[in-house]
Amino acid sequence: YALEVLSATSGTRLHCLGIIVSDDKISLWYYDASGMVRTDITLSLIDDFERVAAILVAFARCDGVKIGSLPSVLDLSADSSRSEIFPPRSLEGYTVEFSPLDGSPAVPVTLKKPIFTQYALVGRRTFVYDATANVASLGGKEAVVKFSLQVRTRKPENELLELARQASVRHLPELHLVGDLLTLSDGVRGAFLQKLEAFHDGYEDRVLRVLVFTRYLPLRVLFSKTSAYLKIMVTQMLECESLLSSRAGQSPNL
């Protein structure tokens, strides 16, 4: 159920709350990209009716962000009436401001139709949107925006791309804007963070990172024209891998 809720809304949900019922006993669950948290104590619908009723009233009084909606790190520009819908069907029409990589003033990026949503409960939960952005480096080309909940302790994707460029790797995507919108520990997850770090050495906090790339032709469209492109793609991928592997021994950053 949580997987369906978190994966079917094109990135509009950060977490999901749930109540598991077994006979007359209930337990509370919390799901996000870092994992699941549940109560050890169960409550009886019969013996603990007052406490169960209080929990249901608390759920009913929660606003969208507390229930799991993506916080207001994105501004709604297309239709203000949609902000009352919970959860939003998609982020189409929302805008977010980014500072270009060249240091020029921040520019708004407006999201269009969703392209891809990763069907996953725990992990990066990548989702991608068509977008428009007035960025000089785009040169009038269409853009896509990639959102993903990346582990904070790992090297950001934009830094990996820059290292690859420094290693003279070709056929890399054109990155124009990058920004971090929020971290899971800033929200509900922060209430569990201290205990999780104490009892689970492998726990890692995640950051919602956004990257704006040039929009390229989808592979299914490209390959529908001729199968020759498949050979070209594989050759370019192997070329990138070979060059990175050879440079990895020369640079500790790769």
100 pLDDT higher than 60: yes
Return d(Cα 170, Cα 18) in angstroms, integer.
Answer: 47
Average confidence (pLDDT) over 173-195: 82
| pLDDT at residue 80, rounded to an integer | 47
Query: What share of the chain in percent tops pLDDT 70?
Result: 85
Residue-wise pLDDT tens digits, 146-182: 999 999 888 888 888 888 888 888 888 899 888 888 8
Does the pLDDT at position 140 exceed 60? yes
Q: Burial level of 13, CB count in 10 A (0-12/13-18/19+)? A: buried
- Top-ranked range on mean pLDDT: pick from 65-74, 122-131, 187-196: 122-131
Task: Output the pLDDT for position 167.
Answer: 82
Contact 31, 2 (CB under 8 A): yes
> Across residues 90-97, what is the average pLDDT?
86
Task: Count the neighbouring beta carbons within 10 Å of the beta carbon of residue 78.
Answer: 13
Q: Before 88, cis peptide (omega within 30)?
A: no
Q: Which of 66, 67, 125, 70 is nearest to 96 (CA)?
A: 70
Give per-residue pLDDT as tens, 208-240: 999 999 998 888 888 888 888 888 889 888 888
Mean pLDDT of 78-92: 65
Contact indicator for 211, 128 with CB cutoff of 8 Å: no
Average of per-residue pLDDT values in the chain: 83
pLDDT band at 58 (very low <50, low <70, confident <90, very high): very high
Burial zone of 135 (CB within 10 Å; 0-12 exposed, 13-18 middle, 19+ buried)? buried
N-terminal to C-terminal alpha carbon distance within the chain: 40
Q: What is the pLDDT of residue 252?
A: 54
User: Is residue 107's pLDDT more than 90?
Assistant: no
The arithmetic mean of pLDDT across residues 15-40, rounded, is 90
Cα dist from 5 to 15, 36, 83, whole Å: 9, 14, 19
* Bigger pLDDT: 79 vs 109: 109
Average pLDDT for residues 174-198, to the nearest whole number?
Answer: 79
The answer to whether 71 touches 64, Cβ cutoff 8 Å, is: no
